[in-house]
Chains A and B, each alone.
Chain A
Amino acid sequence: MAKHRGRGVASVNYPIGMNLGGDPSQALVHATPTGKFVVTLSSIDLGQGMKSVTRQLAAETLGVPIEDVHVDTGDSDTGPHCMGSFASRGTHRAGNAVVAAAREAKEVLLEVAAEELEVDPRDLELDGRGNVRVKGAPARALSVRDVAQAAHFKRGKSISGRGMFLVPPSDVDPDTGAMRPVTTYAHACMIVDVEVDDETGEVRVLSIKAAYEIGRALNIGLVEQQLVGGAWMGISHALFETVEPYYPDRAHGPTDFNGYLMPGPGDMCPVEIEIIERPALDGPYGAKGIGEMCATPPIPAIANAIEDAIGVRITEMPFTPEKILRALDAKRAGR
């Protein structure tokens, strides 16, 4: 009886978004009378950072400080339409819509500012600190707040923009069966080291090292946060979680956290991640998405590492001690 170490590798090409008859997202941007901007969005932030990334995209496109952008995801029923926060699509699909809406709002902003300053709007720029100024003559400037006030109370104009991003429906080619449901893919490669106890059947993940190619990383902190969380989720899928351990027999299914096991803080190995940025041609500032893909590569990598360690192939998740020991028994019996 001994503990065996093994190493496994897995690669993933992950489609960003999905396409069931088209994949649209919509965003609206408007300025308040005080020159702050509101992005109205139905792409919900469930902790992945949709609001942070939306603020960054809108502020960058408008040319205003990030503090001056508020994101309202209050009601997906009455807000602009979004297919939802899933399929790693938020940053790519909704992000593109936010950029489009912010561009249109900026055009109106510059039009109003041009009227106020009596110049051509093409000669204007934003300084990123809340002012519109004449290119080459920065003394001729107006605060965004003053422009918004003029728009509201003098010019009767709404500084606002509509943004829509659609990946159109992808039809199946009748001759070849080929289709193109998505426009961009993210990529990753992961190396996992494990230790397998051939007496208890327990698998312990010792280390995870991965490289992720995700287009432009709009917010590196959020990216790393999701990738580390995803590594944990992948370990959990691979080794712990199931609602029907003897499917199709429903017996012994867990009903609470006492039975539905997941790795705890003490089960977590060091995670080392390298980010590779190859901007996507059709992404907002080159961004792709990372939401789902980060939970996938640990599963095949762990399966491969187990095989490397003890020479058995486990083909059903999760790779529980029971399955490991049965597979070892079968191997010893020459089956």
Chain B
Amino acid sequence: MVTAVSFTLNGTAVAAVAEPAETLLSVLRHRLGDTSPKAGCLQGTCGACTVLLDGEPVLSCLLLADAAEGRRVETVRGLADGPTLHPLQEAFMDRFAAQCGFCTPGMIMAAKALLDRNPNPTREEVIEAISGNVCRCTGYLPIIEAILEAARRLAARR
């Protein structure tokens, strides 16, 4: 028996039907058409599905859709302001922090959760924040640099 689930997705109220035990990732990708969170390992070990739930990073492949009821969900799709990219997205481009790009949505959301909470993180804090996200291409260094760069750019705007 399907159940209804409603929450805010990137600032817009959305509702969908979900199968019992259907994950938030599945609802986002298959019911709401937001394919920006990626389906990687589907067992919570790669981080590609990372989205923010009330500002906290969660593994949407493990979280049941019901858990998002009435809450605020953010995905990388909602990050840009029209054609203007978020400073994290810009910094990822400028620092060549993506190659195949599959880990990038999860990396950026994990980084956003960090910068929202801690606008001026140390390198160690950046490493800690993305330690649940696997990247196969970049060797992580450009990603760490991009997040630190985004923090500097955000600080310059304030």
User: Is B130 among interface residues, defined by CB-CB distance under 8 A?
Assistant: yes
A49, A224, A228, A257: the one contacting B46 at CB < 8 Å is A257
Question: How far apart sit A61 and B125, CA to CA, in the bound complex (Å)?
Answer: 46
Tell me whether A225 and B131 are in contact in the complex, defined as CB-CB below 8 angstroms, given that A47-B98, A47-B99, A257-B45 are known contacts: no
| C-alpha spacing A55/B17, complex, angstroms | 44
In the complex, are the beta carbons of A262 and B141 less than 8 A apart?
Answer: no
Contact A256 B41 (CB under 8 A): yes
Contact indicator A221/B96 (Cβ below 8 Å): yes
- Nearest Cβ distance between residue B138 and chain A, in whole angstroms? 5
Using Cβ atoms and an 8 Å threshold, which residues of chain A touch B126?
265
> Which chain A positions have C-beta within 8 A of B131?
264-266
Q: Is A87 an interface residue (CB 8 A)?
A: no
Bound Cα distance from A232 to B142, whole angstroms: 12
Q: Are A229 and B43 touching (Cβ within 8 A)?
A: no
Question: B80 contacts the other chain (Cβ, under 8 Å)?
Answer: no
Tell whether B115 is near chain A: CB-to-CB under 8 Å. Answer: no
Question: Are A265 and B143 touching (Cβ within 8 A)?
Answer: yes
A167 within 8 A of B: no
Main secondary structure of the interface of B (DSSP, over half): loop
Residues of A within 8 A of B128 (CB): 266
Q: Which of A46, A221, A229, A257 contacts B138 (CB 8 A)?
A: A229
Enumerate A220-235 residues with CB–CB distance to B below 8 Å. Answer: 221-222, 224-226, 228-233
The reply on B139 being an interface residue by CB < 8 A is: yes
**Complex Cα–Cα for A228 and B138 (A):** 7
* Chain B residues near A258 (CB-CB < 8 A): 45
Instruction: Determine the distance from Cα of A228 to Cα of B126 in the docked complex, in whole angstroms.
Output: 18
B62 at the interface (CB under 8 A from A): no
Chain B residues within 8 Å of A49, by CB:
99
- A94 and B126 CA atoms in complex are apart in Å by 38
A59–B15 Cα gap in the complex (Å)?
Answer: 47
CB distance from B45 to the nearest CB of A (A): 4
Judge if A268 is at the interface, Cβ distance under 8 Å: yes
Q: Evaluate contact between A224 and B96: CB separation under 8 angstroms.
A: yes
Shortest distance in angstroms between A260's beta carbon and chain B's nearest beta carbon? 9
Q: Is B39 in the interface zone, CB < 8 Å from A? A: no
Minimum CB–CB distance for B4 against chain A, Å: 33
B137 at the interface (CB under 8 A from A): yes
The residue in A46, A229, A230, A256 that gathers the most chain B C-beta atoms within 10 A of its C-beta is A229
Q: Does B150 contact A (CB under 8 A)?
A: no
**Is the Cβ of A46 less than 8 Å from the Cβ of B46?**
no
Given A47-B101, A266-B131, are A271 and B139 neighbors across the interface (CB < 8 Å)? yes
Contact with A along B111-149 (1 / 0, CB 8 A): 000000000000000111011001111111111100000
Q: Say whether A262 contacts B134, CB under 8 Å.
A: yes
For residue B156, CB closer than 8 A to chain A, the reply is no
Whether A225 and B99, one on each chain, are in contact in the complex, defined by CB atoms closer than 8 angstroms, is yes
How would residues 208 to 224 of chain A score, 1 for a CB under 8 Å from any chain B CB and 0 otherwise? Answer: 00000000000001101
B58 to chain A: closest CB distance in Å?
18
CB distance from B109 to the nearest CB of A (A): 16
- For A264, the chain B residues whose CB sits under 8 A away are 131, 134, 140
B140 touches A232 (CB 8 A): yes
Given the complex of chains A and B, what is the CA–CA distance between A48 and B46 in angstroms?
21
How many angstroms from the CA of A70 to the CA of B99 in the assembled complex? 19
A237 smallest CB distance to B (angstroms)? 13
Among A228, A256, A266, A270, the residue within 8 A (CB) of B142 is A228
Say whether B41 contacts A225, CB under 8 Å. Answer: no
State whether B140 touches A268 (Cβ < 8 A). Answer: yes
- Provided the pairs A47-B137, A264-B131, A271-B139 are in contact, do residues A229 and B45 lie with their beta carbons within 8 angstroms? no
Query: Considering only CB atoms, which chain B residue lies closest to A223 in the complex?
Result: B96
Give Cα A221–Cα B144 distance, bound, in whole angstroms: 16
For the complex, what is the distance from the CA of A48 to the CA of B140, rounded to whole Å?
Answer: 15
Which residues of chain A come closer than 8 Å to B138, judged between CB atoms? 225, 228-229, 232
9 contacting pairs across A/B (C-beta < 8 A): A225-B142, A226-B99, A228-B141, A231-B139, A232-B140, A265-B135, A265-B140, A266-B131, A268-B140
For the complex of A and B, 8 pairs with smallest distance between CB atoms: A232-B139, A47-B99, A47-B100, A257-B45, A265-B140, A225-B96, A229-B139, A228-B139
Q: Which residues of A contact B (CB under 8 A)?
A: 46-49, 221-222, 224-226, 228-233, 256-258, 262, 264-266, 268, 270-271
